[in-house]
Structures are given as structure tokens and as C-alpha cells.
Structure 1
Amino acid sequence: MKTIFCAAALGLLGLASFAANAQGECDKYRTSYDKTYCFAKLFLESDKELNTAYKDLRAVAKEAANQKLKATQLDWIKYRDATCESSGSINVDCNYRVNRERTEYLRDRARECKAGTCRDEMIGKKSWN
């Protein structure tokens, strides 16, 4: 299973730009294989955190806000893809950074809702523009 994951990660990220990296996390690695593996882990972890933040917000927001959130999230995915993909490759650093920004935005909205100050207009806002 680990071999399949590594092969998939290499295939997915093999052509990605590594000029700038995700907050220096992968600087310590010297081989292309190790750097690719590191970037793949960061990429997957940021996506997992994003999905968790989205689900957490949906759990505390009202139904009307959830409808806006879903539509906004679909728009955000289009933005992320347009921003971080080029010629069939994913710029992992870009994807990581954009995922982290969106994750923090969603977490902030969930904290507001849990505190009783949920603002529907902020949940449906296109925060990346």
C-alpha cells in the first residue's frame, strides 16, 4: 500500500514546481525523491485539514448558511485549481498555501458560530478575492 501511495504521489507531483516550498518544511531533504515525498505529505495533510474545517463549520452553521457555504466552496475549488494547476501539474506549494488560507478562514467562521456570533454573510463570502 505504501508503495502504491509513493508511486501515486510521485506521478502526481513529479512535474510540480519545487522552487518555493511549503514554509520550509521540506528544505532539509536533499534528494528529489525525499522532497517529493515530503511535499506529497504536506499537500495531503492540508487537504485533509481543509475538509475537516469545512465539515466542522457545516455542523454549526444554519441551513441557509450551509447552502451558501457549499456554493462558495465549489467556487473556491475552481479558484484553487485555476491558481495552482498548470499544464496538468499541481504547484504543491501554491496548493498548500491556498488550502491553509481557506482552512483558517473556515476555522474562524466555525469559532464564531460556536461562540454564538455566527455571521451568514461571512460564511458565504468569497474570502480569496
Structure 2
Amino acid sequence: MSKSLLPIVSVASAIGLLSIALSVVGAAPKTPDVRVAQQPNCNNPQTQSEMNACAGISYQNADRKLNQVYQQLLPKLPAARKQKLVAAQQAWIKFRDASCVFERSEVEGGSMAPMIYGNCLATVTEQRTKDLEGYLDALNNR
């Protein structure tokens, strides 16, 4: 089958994949829903729509891992530290969202804006997960 006959991924915005709620402290960034005609090939995306969808999937996976680590960490903390972690996480979410909106603004309105946003969300979330894993490791090694 020639490339021109391949089914096209129908994506309103790949960031819509990000709509799973954060079980941490609130909802994921406000994003429209995505409808994908077929699963994108994230090992070798061929279109901007696929790249956008893959960035959304990458963030969704990073967010899932962050929430798993957060849910492991929270019950190990005394009440006062738990409250501090919740407050820190809320502030971090605001930072993450604002930082990624800024990063996306360089290409605002362009077809790659969802990819830039999704990749930023994934990268920042992966770093936060490493931070939380460090706290968890420290508690587990006491």
C-alpha cells in the first residue's frame, strides 16, 4: 500500500490524550479530546498528527508513573509532611502547566504546538517522578 493510501490518524489535538485526571491533587491540564483512527506508530511517526499523538501518549505514560510513585510515597509520610507534599505537588502542577504553556507559545497556533506541549509535560513530569522516587528511596532505606 502506498503511503498516500495509509489511514490518517484523526487527531483534534494529541494533548487530548492527556485528559486522564491526576489522582494526585486535581485534573490534568485542560485539553480537548482526541479521536485516533488507529494507534500511532510512536517508534517511527510519519505525520505531524502522529507526532502530536505520540507526545500525548508519552505524557500520559509519564503521568501514570508519577501518580504511582506519589501514591506509594504519601502513606509513608507523617501527617505534617503529607500536607506539605500535597501543597508542593499543587504548586508543582501549576508550575508545570505554566512552564509548558510558555514553551508551546513559541509555536502557538502551529501544527506542532500540541507536540511541543505534550513533550514538555512529559519531560517535566518525568523529572518530578525522579524527585518523588528519591524521597521514596530515602524513606525505604531508613
CA distance in 2, matches of 1:113, 1:100: 20
- Out of 76, 85, 94, the position equivalent to 2:101 is 85
Q: Which runs of 5+ in 2 are unaligned?
A: 1-9, 18-41
**Counterpart residue identity of residue 107, structure 1:** E
Native 8 Å contact 2:15 2:56 kept in 1: no
- For residues 102 and 34 of structure 1, the distance between their equivalents in structure 2, rounded to whole angstroms, comes to 26
Partner of 1:106: 132
Gap change, CA 1:43 and 1:72, over 3 Å in 2: same
Deviation at 1:34, TM superposition (A): 2.0
Q: Who is 1:127 aligned against?
A: none
Q: Matched residue pairs, number?
A: 100
Instruction: State the TM-score, normalizing by the size of structure 1.
Output: 0.66
The runs of at least 4 consecutive aligned structure 1 residues that moved more than 6 Å come to none
> Percent identical across equivalent pairs?
29
Higher relative contact order (CA 8 A, sep 6+): 1
- Aligned residue number for residue 34 of structure 2: none
CA contact (8 A) 2:15 2:118 kept: no
TM-score (structure 2 length as normaliser): 0.60
What's 1:37 paired with? 53
Q: Match for 1:105: what amino acid?
A: D
Q: Give the distance between the partners of 2:121 and 2:58, measured in 1 at CA.
A: 10
- Please give the alpha-carbon distance, in whole angstroms, between the structure 2 residues aligned to 1:46 and 1:100: 6
Distance in 2 (alpha carbons) for counterparts of 1:10 and 1:34: 8
Alignment of 1:1-129 (within 5 A): 7=11, 10=14, 12=16, 26=42, 28-86=44-102, 91-116=117-142
Unaligned runs of 5+ in 1: 1-5, 14-25, 117-129
Q: Which amino acid aligns with 2:60?
A: L
After superposition, the Cα gap between the structure-2 partners of 1:8 and 1:66, relative to the gap in structure 1 and judged at 3 Å, is: farther
